[in-house]
Structure 1
Amino acid sequence: MAGTGMTLMRNHLDDYKCDANEAVKFKLVRDEKDLENDDGFNPDMTHQIFGEQESIFGYKDLSVQLYYSAAKLNTYLSIKYTDKVSPEKDNGLQPDNITEALSKEMPPGYYTNLDDFSAVLAKDANFKPYGDLLHSYTINKDGVDRQFEIYKTTIDCPGFREYHERLQTFILFFIDAASFIDADDERWSFYLLFEKYKDNGNPMYAIAGYMTVYKYYAYPCSNRPRISQVLVLPPFQKQGHGAQLLQTFYNSCYGDSDILDITVEDPSENFQRLRDYVDARNCMKLKSFQPEKLYEGFDDDMPHEARLKLKLNRKQSRRIYEILRLKCTSEADKEKFKQYRLDVKRRLNIPFQKNGRDFEKLQKALKPEELSTTLSCMSMEQRHQYLEKAFEEEIEQYKHVIERLNMA
């Protein structure tokens, strides 16, 4: 009987467990009418708030609403449910403290009363973007022209410190393994993406994304900017804004003789693809990356010109070379594709000489003694299998970039 009772208890409690990724919903609010519609977007991940299982326990029909005013990012938090567990009726069980979990990451001053939040929406009309305007452009979405602007600022810009504290909360839900930066370090710079629109004839702004860049020292007397965080918010994704943001940053670097080259901090697969696309598009205009040169193999002219004109480092130059050579190499041309395959595999073989991108992957996955054993114990057949698999994975990534280049 006791076992039956525990089973019934577990079945009963199943209704009080929910997927945090589905329960949490964001909304960028431009006016009071937005409060009444069902628009919004869910997070990509919640493990950095609610744990690895990305679940919330203790509530039935849970809805966690996080509303941000579109310009100033004033924030409203609402937690709704039809029932929750209690120690009195559920053998001492306590529901997860959602407010506490979110409050650890959200700056103080958010609203929990919808009327109070609604009252401050009008203040967005006074909002002006922080920093200096670097670039403006227009995209056509659903037959409507929409205008966007990119600004560069620093933490010292009046009001931006508090604004950044609200803005950075998004990264925990949309960038894996993200952490808040030490914004007090003066070597950080911020690139902000806004949509500019009209409301009753008056210009208004809505945040669409942002990027952070850290300026590292490069011996002997240069600096090396490192892209740290890049986020385009879901309502604005797949519209080309990431490429605009990255290219705008690049443009600000090209004329700076103090910059040696540009690096990226632990890029995600999606960002690497974006970076590859922008870099390949730019390298296609360089003399050393023309098809007749690509067929001859990777030479010193390529990284030299790419660094001189585009601030690309050697590692990324090599990657772009492989992408562009594949772009102009037909798989139907057996000999040319064979030469391409051998060229890429020679580079992929470098891990066995303890160097290169794939060696870095092995380093992360294995302890030093395991790594040494793995490489030394591989038979020739195993090595060939590893190289073939690595080649196919790289080619798959490259083809995504080439497809976008062809569409552009």
Structure 2
Amino acid sequence: MALEGEGYPKCSSNDTEEEENFEISAYKKDACRVITFRLVYKEEDLKSNDVIALTFTPEMAHQVFGESESIFGYRNLSIYLNYLHNSCRCFLDINSRGKLESNTMKPDDIEQILDQWLPKNYTTKEDEFIKWIKEEEHDKIYGEILNTIEKDLKTKYHITKNDIKDKEFTEFHARFETFIIWFIDAANFIDLEDHRWNIFYVYEERDNNKTPVGFCTVYMFYAYPSNIRARVSQFFILPSHQRQGIGTMLYETVSKHLRNMEEVIDITVEEPTPALQRIRDLEDCGILHKTLLENQINFSTASWKKIFDLGRQKKIGKRQMRRVYDILSLFYAHDKGPKASEQVLTGIFNRIIEETERESRPSKRFRNVKGIPQPSGIDKSQQIEQELRNYCEDIDPSVKYLQQKLDNWLKMQ
């Protein structure tokens, strides 16, 4: 005879804990998976997911929801951040099929968390947003148009320079720049009271609609005695419009505008992304190559100093100029065979050695001071080789891009 309960598994405390953990995990959502941005042109766009190009999801959410990038307390959660395509007025639409009811754990207050990161005066009421759609100006453009590029018969792009003293524009920009928190790590909103900021926008014109799809901010630093050092700070294209050459159009126009300003002595970029760095490399390499042709200077035989002087005249910063020089050296060496490329790499290697030794060498005034570390004589070849490898990997995409797109440069010489 079997004892009562014999042969049947008992419900242990571990089983109960596992069930509770499983239940709790059902209420924990990845913010980047449940949030969707939508550009809205007409009322029908609110209910349609057919126009995939006008919807996109965030790349990051840690600045909003913490390092875990998670939202707690809801089942089947979906959050739509609907932005009117021209004015960027926003409708926050939160939906779920269940909310955690517990005496010990509370669901996240999603609206409160999002409040500081959304455009001012956003709405949570669909009927109010529909009213805004009907009031929307579909062809509004701020600023002075610097450049217009026709992509095809239906699409144009307008690049503008904006007056930061224009209150209506700064209110618009404050709405549009809320996108960057979700796509640029450690992004900050700029101080729109500081008139040293220059802001450039790119608008897409299609079917009588003009839509801002990206912007670039440039800070104008004072340089003695009456000059300016221009530093590109933020550079952003909406994910729905990336990989279409729009970023290149924007950067080339901004770069040309800054180079044409007599008081600007150089142009730098603050922590460029790999994509922006490639755009920048291509732009600067193209400018330098054109300058060499105009001055009938052969890159391969010209001195390093002469090339750098030409780069400085074109307002390429010192660090970027070194990079441009290396990229062009590898680019031109490519058709001459492996030995030519090896010579270029040897030159880069020797320069890195010199830079490493210079950085590790104490200045003369501190060389004999007690407590200041002195050169140890330790072989740093492995460190230098690693730095060379990292640097070459960094510039390699730009070299290959030149080889793919600009091989005709050599034919022009």
- Tell me, which stretches of 5 or more residues in structure 2 are unaligned? 1-11, 361-372, 409-413
Contact 1:45/1:174 (8 A) holds in 2:
yes
Residues matched between the structures, number: 382
Alignment match of 2:205 (pick from 183, 196, 206): 196
Query: In the TM superposition, what is the alpha-carbon distance from 1:401 to its structure 2 partner?
Result: 3.5
Q: What is residue 61 of structure 1 aligned with on the other side?
A: 76
**Does structure 2 conserve the Cα–Cα contact (< 8 Å) formed by 1:76 and 1:111?**
yes
Which residue identity is paired with 1:221? S
Q: CA separation in 1, counterparts of 2:233 and 2:312? A: 20
Contact kept, 8 Å, 2:282 with 2:398, in 1: the verdict is no
| 2:367 pairs with 1:352 | no
Q: Give the C-alpha shift of residue 316 in structure 1.
A: 1.1
| Counterpart position of 1:107 | 119
Partner of 2:164 in structure 1?
155
Structure 1: give runs of 5+ residues left out of the alignment.
Answer: 357-371
Structure 1 residues 10 and 233: CA distance shift in structure 2, 3 A: same
Displacement of 1:400 after TM fit? 4.6
Question: How far, CA to CA, are the matches of 1:348 and 1:122 in structure 2?
Answer: 61
TM-score, length of structure 2 as denominator length: 0.85
Q: Which has the larger radius of gyration?
A: 2
Aligned-partner SS, 1:286: helix
Instruction: Find 1:131's aligned residue among 119, 133, 143.
Output: 143
Q: Normalising by structure 1, what TM-score? A: 0.86
- The amino acid that maps onto 1:79 is I
With 293-302 and 339-348 compared, the bigger mean Cα shift is at: 293-302
Match of 1:394 in 2: 394
What SS does structure 1 have at the residue aligned with 2:290? coil
Deviates more, 1:117-126 or 1:219-228: 117-126
Deviation of the 1:20 alpha carbon:
1.0
Listed as ranges, the matches of 1:194-343 within 5 Å are 194-198=203-207, 203-287=208-292, 293-296=298-301, 299-308=304-313, 310-330=314-334, 333-343=337-347
Give the whole-Å Cα distance in 2 for the aligned partners of 1:184 and 1:314: 30
Give, in whole Å, the separation in 2 of the partners of 1:274 and 1:404.
14
Q: Deviations over 1:331-386 (max 9, x none)?
A: 77232112111111123324413459xxxxxxxxxxxxxxx79x957524424542
Q: Give the structure 1 partner of residue 369 of structure 2.
A: none
Distance 1:194 1:254, change over 3 A: same
Answer whether contact 1:277 1:405 (CA < 8 A) is retained. Answer: no
Whole-angstrom distance in 2 between the partners of 1:298 and 1:272: 26
Partner deviation per Cα, 1:310-332 (whole Å, 9 max, x = no partner): 32112211211111121122277
Code of the aligned partner of 1:186:
H
Measure, in 1, the Cα distance between the counterparts of 2:344 and 2:232: 31
Q: CA deviation at 1:100?
A: 1.3
State the SS of the aligned residue for 2:136: helix
- How much identity, in percent, do the aligned residues show? 30
1:44 — aligned with what? Answer: 59
Distance in 1 between residues matched to 2:123 and 2:230, nearest whole Å? 37
Per-residue CA deviations over 1:88-132 (Å, capped at 9, x if unaligned) read 4xxx11112211111022233111122221221132236521111
